[in-house]
Amino acid sequence: MRRTLRSLLRDQAGTVGPYVAFLSPLLVGAGLLAIDVGRVTVTHDQLQYAADAAALAGARELDGQSGAIDRARRAAAAVLNRQDFGKTPGAVWPAGTTILPLCGGDVAAGCARILRSLPADDGTPITGGDTTLDAEARFIQVVVPRTEVEAIFFDVLPRTGPAAPGDAGGTAAPGASAVAGNDPLICGVPPLVMCRPMDPDALGRGKAVEVFMQPAGAGGGASYIPGQFGLLCPADDSVNCGASSVGENIASVDGTCVASRTMSMKPGVSLQQVRTGINARLDWWSPQAKDALGDWRRQARYVPARNVTQATEPQGSPLAGTTRCERSDLSAATAAALPSDTCLVSGTCPNGRFGDGVRDRTRYFDVNHGGSDGVLAGFSGQIPGGTGAAIRFEVYRAEIEAGRIVQPGQSIGGGGTTSEDGAPQCFQDGTALATPDYTWFDGAPANDLRLLRDRRVLPVVVADCSDPSFDPRAFSPDDIRFMFIVQPMYTPAGATIVLEDLGPMADGVLDDMFKDVVQIYRR
């Protein structure tokens, strides 16, 4: 007996049995609970993805145009998302939902809020900022309907209501929301903004503008007067206004991107940088015309216009050595640039720096075309807004299309020969220079996307600086107009640019320049 008891005490077989008996229910229960919790977590994630997608789709429609709010609500409702583990698996939105209702008292049913602004601190609840105005709408908050998820194994989930007879489990009702916004950019514009004239008729097809630029560092003397150019701040640099790259952004084919809703500007500009950028488009390369990759005149992104007639000639031997191609004036007897308006030259324009379109056409055709304007046959009236004589831009394009850009040795009306070569002489990327910009005169409306590809055309933002509420740190553009560069900035100390107004941009052009920047701001 004693031996049997001793043997039993020494026998270790089955010692884990009590542990297994105790832990097995716990482990099985934990696994089953994990399944229930996992179903809730997955459902919440699916709802969050749905809220994100709906908010992004809605925000893309918030462009400030008429009907933006309704379009945003419909776009959010049109996003197809589903959840798989709810009480009723299927689409997130109730059947038949074509437009999200605006949030009221019951947000659990799913809704949308349209907001003009968000609190600066992400931790601050959104208690205001709602708007019903399309022009103000910048953000959309989407709240997806709560979805009940039933517990399969344990009554451990918080109930959303009384248990039904025979219901052994609780239900959880996860939900989700997301806030998305759209801050669209306008890309491809030079970093310049012009103050609108007081007279609404001062701008128009073929009218010249002698734009004035106030030098940087004007300090307290800075002002905003009609016809003045200011520095338009890039979207990513509202503090320094991209001051270090003004010339590069004016000269390059890329331009810069600016916020389309709320722009900011500075009155003072670096005249040397502006002159360098403008003149590069006309094959005039100052010593400052270079970047980290070298001289601009050797880079395709700075290709000049194909017609740079301007009554100047390159200094030295432009195609050899390191000459950067500054230019000097040619004799007025043998060379002629496209003229400014007569009243701008004499200082007698009623609207100050805004001309009336009347200019000395005769001398230009005498010098560059032997006294004949036959080069214009079929090329006039391409720019909408008038049926009169060809404007300067049409003369310029006609010379390109007809292969009639002025060359040295041509006969001048009244005697003598020309001394200017109106084709680029200094730019050294032959491939870029030989690539046609486009065929212009093909019978299609001229005020379209092709204007963006002409190197002597600037899309210029126009601001109503005379409005009493005008704030240069935050303003909406009054207009965006195409401007033709009539002449280079001849003198280094000059503070004016002579441009010709081609009219406002067509809607299709603006659509091509817009770049949506849609993102999630909150969850």
Q: Of residues 510 and 57, which shows the higher confidence score?
A: 57
Q: Of residues 174 and 394, which shows the higher confidence score?
A: 394
Flag the least confident range among 116-125, 160-169, 372-381.
160-169
Flag the least confident range among 50-59, 75-84, 287-296, 481-490.
75-84
pLDDT digits 0-9 by tens, 346-400: 888 888 888 888 888 889 999 999 888 888 876 766 665 555 678 899 889 888 8
pLDDT digits 0-9 by tens, 33-79: 666 666 777 777 878 888 888 888 888 888 777 888 899 898 888 88
Q: Of residues 498 and 222, which shows the higher confidence score?
A: 498
**pLDDT-derived band of residue 192, with 50, 70 and 90 as boundaries?**
confident
Neighbours of 518 (CB within 10 A): 17
- pLDDT > 70? residue 269: no
Phi, psi of 41 (to 5 degrees): -65, -45
- pLDDT > 70? residue 320: no
pLDDT digits 0-9 by tens, 4-28: 666 655 666 656 666 656 666 666 6
Question: Are 80 and 116 in contact, with CB atoms under 8 Å apart?
Answer: no
Strands (E) across 299-350 are located at: 312-314, 327-329
Q: How much is the pLDDT for 511?
A: 67
Q: How much is the pLDDT for 153?
A: 62
Mean pLDDT, rounded, for 255-275:
78
Percent of all residues in the chain with a pLDDT value above 70, rounded to a whole number: 73
134-148, 314-328, 378-392: which is most confident: 134-148
Flag the least confident range among 105-114, 243-252, 262-271, 380-389.
380-389
Q: How much is the pLDDT for 160?
A: 46
Q: For residue 429, what are its two tokens?
A: 């990327």
Rg (CA), the chain: 35
- pLDDT > 80? residue 156: no
Q: How much is the pLDDT for 78?
A: 85
The DSSP secondary structure of 379-447, one letter per residue, reads TTT-SSS--SSPPHHHHHHHHHHTT----TTPBPTTS-B-----S-SS---HHHHHS------SSS-SS
Q: How much is the pLDDT for 53?
A: 86
Question: 62: helix, coil or strand?
Answer: coil
Mean pLDDT, rounded, for 198-203:
85
- pLDDT > 70? residue 137: yes
Q: How much is the pLDDT for 508?
A: 63
pLDDT digits 0-9 by tens, 391-425: 899 889 888 888 889 999 888 887 888 889 999 98
pLDDT digits 0-9 by tens, 216-226: 554 444 567 88
Percent of all residues in the chain with a pLDDT value above 90, rounded to a whole number: 7
Residue entry with tokens 């012009």? 194
Mean pLDDT, rounded, for 502-517:
73
Q: How much is the pLDDT for 305?
A: 92
- Measuring CA to CA, which residue among 302, 296, 287 is closest to residue 255? 302
Which distant-in-sequence residues (6+ apart) come within 8 Å of 229 by Cβ?
A: 192, 193, 194, 195, 211, 212, 213, 269, 274, 497
Question: Are 122 and 522 in contact, with CB atoms under 8 Å apart?
Answer: yes
Q: How much is the pLDDT for 486?
A: 93
319-333, 491-505, 506-520: which is most confident: 491-505
119-123, 149-153, 336-340, 467-471: which is most confident: 336-340
**pLDDT-derived band of residue 240, with 50, 70 and 90 as boundaries?**
low
Mean pLDDT, rounded, for 278-283:
92
Q: How much is the pLDDT for 214?
A: 65
Q: How much is the pLDDT for 16?
A: 63
Phi, psi of 364 (to 5 degrees): -60, -45
Q: How much is the pLDDT for 17?
A: 63
Q: How much is the pLDDT for 339?
A: 92
Residue entry with tokens 């992104």? 301
Q: How much is the pLDDT for 172?
A: 67
Question: Are 318 and 312 in contact, with CB atoms under 8 Å apart?
Answer: no
**pLDDT-derived band of residue 252, with 50, 70 and 90 as boundaries?**
confident
The DSSP secondary structure of 238-296, one letter per residue, reads TTTTTGGGHHHHHHSSS-EEEESSSB-EESEE-HHHHHHHHHHTTT---TT-EETTEEG
**pLDDT-derived band of residue 484, with 50, 70 and 90 as boundaries?**
very high
- Share the mean pLDDT of the chain: 78
